[in-house]
Chains A and B, each alone.
Chain A
Amino acid sequence: MRGGTALAPTEQANDGLLPAWRRSARPYLLVIPAVALTIGILYPFVQGAIYAFQNYKATRPNPEFIGFRNFERILTDDKFWHSVGVTAKFAIGATLVETVLGVAIALLLARSSLVSRTLERFLILPLMVAPIIATIMWRLMMQPSVGILNYVLSPIGLGNQAWTDTPAMAMFSVILIDVWIFTPFVALLVLAGLRSLPRAPFEAAAVEGASFWFTFRNLTLPMLWPYILVAVIFRLMDSLKVFDVIFALTGGGPGNATMALQIQAYQDAIPFSNFSIGQTYMLILWFVVYLATFGLIKVLAKAQARAAGV
């Protein structure tokens, strides 16, 4: 964290006419509107956290406090652990594929050949499509009668996919759509990283006749690591709370094969109006996201320090 300057001498000279309290009040005056708005958003957060310790449903408008009973009930429920498994599989699978593919695309685009320079300007397009719209598009492509995927895949003998009918294929399909949307995010970041790397170490490696892999493993990758980690942090956090893609493609099915945590919480809280149970799910998910972010940010800080030392 940098920024925050103490008052500079010139500023003090100019502000000398103002009483000290007005000078120190200045940052607070500037953030008052933001604080007000933040409190307005925090109020429902707190209200929601309270629901998790109550038995609030639409059919029970005057809820009572029941301590940790919601947590006990959820943590001993197979449905919850199933959702944890689904969420973990989706988040790790999607993040992994997006990271590897994104780094590869960034390396390809950094070559700046005629082809890659021409195509680079289209890189962001999938990322700017609303995930829900992207999912609708893919759903149309996967659709057996009007869809095109099976037609395109038939020459290589894969023309008969049931994209969302089996648990394994449904998971594959939602990850595929997520990869389509978010690989450009990783690629953009890593490309920005590649283009800001210092030149000298690469020249030295070239003079020494180092191979591509040697340079990549010992120079490029360590120096890119902070950029890759930022991408991983954002992707992992977002995919842990996945909703749009799964909701619009499978709705959590077939059965509950793609019932990620936020989908399950939605089912409990909105159609079934069991606000307390849904909110307990969300509190647990929030805690997991928080822990994961915190851990990754620590790794990032270390990587940044190491990269700065190179």
Chain B
Amino acid sequence: MAAIEANPVLAEQEERAATRRWSVGGIALDLLTIVYFIFALFPLVWMLLLSLKTPDQLFTTYFRFTPTLDSYRAVLGLDASGSVPFVRFFINSLIVSFGAVLISLLVGVPAAYAFARYQFKGGESLLFTLLSFRFAPELMVIIPIYVIYQRIGLFDTHLGLIWVYQLITLPLIVWILRSYFQDLTPELEQSALLDGYSRPQAFVKVALPLVKPGMAAAALLAFIFAWNSFIFPFILTGSNAQTVTVGALSFMGGATPRYNLTAAAALIALIPPLLLALSIQRYLVRGLTFGAVKG
């Protein structure tokens, strides 16, 4: 899909907005927009409130209470009442998400470049095999991996998770970076070759720096998806390599579900993806669609 730089609808709307800024229709549409964003953001706010309540306040009050950080202390293991090693889960999530993205980058960047620059036998089938990972039901590969991992000792290990996370991170990185490399004109590298660079030098010193923003965005997005994954760590880990997405559920269980701790754990778990997402907003559309839409 061709992206056109100009922003005509926006510009046109702005002109119109300037002339009829206070029209009744305009206010009604603004109100509709606000209604949607209340729906979209309220759960996050509510979660914050819940996490700041004491266990008694949970059941007795909705909005007026004295906030306390007790839930966070318990979740982070600063006092004994949490009883779930949530900090370790958090570190596990960091290790496996980072490891998965690192491997995908090492393997995926050269591959993406090859797909963008050369036509070669088997190239397209490999590219579409990678894409098909995105659309395959996760359990289809988890069930056999569950059996295999039990046998070869990768069950409940970081390496085991990093390996299956390639299903999430590798297709994403290859497809997004391929679309960025395609946007570079080959003449750039050709003039580098004329200047006496070797082909690998041209790739490393000319092409790679130009796609760096795209690469950073693809890596961060892959990190977010790896971090947010639930079904893989849920089935393929026990207590050792468990991640935050699985760990957050554990405060819900038991005879007395600890709602305030659940809320605190959920909030801690969603801080990294939210922060990273805000930093790659510009590249998000292309990333989310595997380069199909160049927003």
Contact = CB atoms under 8 A, between A and B. Distances in A.
Q: Do A and B bind each other?
A: yes
Contacts of B190: 8, 10-11
A34 B115 CA distance: 11
Contacts of A198: 4, 8
Contacts of A30: 110-111, 113-114
Contacts of A126: 40, 43
B88 to A, nearest CB: 18
Given A40-B163, A282-B137, A11 B174 contact: no
Interface in B40-63: 40-41, 43-44, 46-47, 50, 58-59, 62
Contact of A282 (B6, B139, B145): B139
Interface residues of B, number: 115
Contact of B227 (A15, A110, A130, A278): A130
A251 B31 CA distance: 37
A194 interface: yes
A163 interface: no
Q: Is the interface of A mostly helix, strand, loop or mixed?
A: helix
B6 A199 contact: yes
A174 to B, nearest CB: 15
Interface string A41-76: 110110110010000000000000000000000000
A202 interface: yes
Given A27-B123, A230-B289, A279-B143, A41 B167 contact: yes
Nearest to B141: A44
A195 B107 contact: no
Nearest to B187: A8
A211 B138 CA distance: 47
B118 A113 contact: no
Interface in B256-295: 259, 262-263, 266, 269-270, 273-274, 276-278, 281, 284-285, 288-289, 292-295
Contacts of A82: none
A218 interface: no
Nearest to B246: A132
A33 interface: yes
Contacts of B294: 192
Interface string B219-231: 0000010011111
Interface in A261-310: 261-262, 265-266, 269-270, 275, 278-279, 282-283, 285-286, 289-290, 293, 304, 308
B165 to A, nearest CB: 10
Which of B37, B182, B276 gathers most chain A CB within 10 Å? B37
A179 to B, nearest CB: 9
Contact of A42 (B7, B12, B129, B135): B129
Interface in A77-133: 101, 105, 108-113, 115-116, 119, 121-133
Contacts of B40: 122-123, 125-126, 180, 183-184
A130 B30 contact: no
Contacts, number: 326
A42 B119 CA distance: 23
Nearest to A111: B13
B249 A146 contact: no
Interface in A1-49: 1-6, 8, 10-11, 14-15, 24, 26-28, 30-31, 33-38, 40-42, 44-45, 47-48
Given A31-B111, A40-B163, A128-B273, A48 B144 contact: yes
Given A146-B259, A180-B43, A10 B194 contact: yes
A37 B117 CA distance: 21
Given A137-B43, A199-B8, A145 B285 contact: no
Given A121-B281, A199-B6, A202-B9, A34 B108 contact: yes
Given A27-B120, A113-B29, A248-B249, A270 B295 contact: no
Contacts of B41: 122, 125
Given A132-B248, A185-B288, A113 B30 contact: yes
A192 B33 contact: no
Contacts of A34: 107-108, 110-111, 126, 130, 170, 174
A214 interface: no
Q: Which 9 A-B pairs have the closest CB atoms?
A: A192-B295, A199-B8, A4-B119, A130-B228, A34-B111, A30-B114, A27-B118, A282-B140, A48-B144
Given A30-B114, A234-B288, A279-B140, 14 more contacts: A30-B110, A34-B170, A37-B170, A38-B129, A111-B13, A121-B278, A137-B44, A140-B50, A146-B50, A148-B46, A195-B295, A199-B8, A230-B289, A279-B144
15 contacts: A10-B190, A34-B126, A38-B126, A48-B141, A110-B10, A113-B26, A122-B37, A125-B40, A130-B270, A137-B43, A140-B46, A199-B6, A243-B231, A266-B139, A286-B140
